[in-house]
Amino acid sequence: MRYAICDFDGLIIGDGEFPTLDDAQASCSGFGWVHPLEPAQNVTAGAQYVVAGEVMDLPPKPAAHLIYDVSAGAWVDPRSEADWLAELAVIRAATFMTRSDFAIRCREFSLLTEAEALQVARGEVPAGIMDLIALMPPAEQFEAEIRWSAATEIYWGNELISSLAAVTGMSDWQRDLLFLIVWPVPLAAWPEGQLHP
């Protein structure tokens, strides 16, 4: 006999032929249960669920991050704020700009004068950044200047960028905008219009 294999929430995750109900139940022991199917009945894993003994189609999924809550009969956001922040941390760690794009964006945000932006684009170290380097331990200053001068890509998490943001009062959210970061989809639990914690 054919059975739909369901997870503990009732979502169909597969199907198969089994000689007996015991065999079918043993096949998903520890992660779900089975539902007997009619001889001509077909099911689609990930697109249907079983509730009150009936196979039902999932409604259209409105967003990729949602999961279907069978008991609530609705798509829900399973993410916590910690999940959201962890996703953002991964995005930030991988985000960078070319040196020239960074210089242009800093000028647009009034973080650098035109002359300083041109210096950054040429790989030079403007006075404002030299001031930040001067605040570092003496043993680290030379390496920081070399790395800044040689960098062709400027990362969101660059130590000097973090210092520049702190000195200018720029929040991490504003730095995200500077680097054109697209934040993860807001949590469903947040009020309408809230984009980040």
Predicted pLDDT at 132: 82
Total number of residues shown for the chain = 197
Dihedral of CA atoms 73, 78, 81, 83 in degrees, nearest 10, equals -170
Q: What are the tens digits of pLDDT across the range 85-100? A: 999 999 999 999 999 9
Predicted pLDDT at 57: 94
Distance CA 72, CA 79 (A): 17
Phi, psi for 66 (deg, rounded to 5): -85, 155
Predicted pLDDT at 105: 95
Structure token digits, residue 45 = 């894993």
Predicted pLDDT at 141: 87
Predicted pLDDT at 103: 95
Predicted pLDDT at 165: 84
Global model pTM greater than 0.85: no
Q: What is the domain partition of the chain in residue ranges?
A: 2-76, 96-178
Predicted pLDDT at 140: 85
pLDDT (average), residues 149-156: 93
Q: What DSSP character marks residue 182? A: P
- Put residue 116 in one of left, alpha, beta given phi > 0 → left and psi -120 to 50 → alpha: alpha
Task: Say which residues have a Cβ less than 8 Å from residue 157's Cβ, sequence separation at least 6.
Answer: 92, 93
Distance of CA 2 to CAs 14, 22, 76, 183, Å? 11, 13, 31, 45
Q: What are the tens digits of pLDDT across the range 25-69? A: 998 889 999 999 998 899 999 999 999 999 999 999 998 889 999
Q: What are the tens digits of pLDDT across the range 112-152? A: 899 999 999 998 989 888 888 888 888 888 988 898 889 99
Predicted pLDDT at 135: 84
Predicted pLDDT at 96: 97
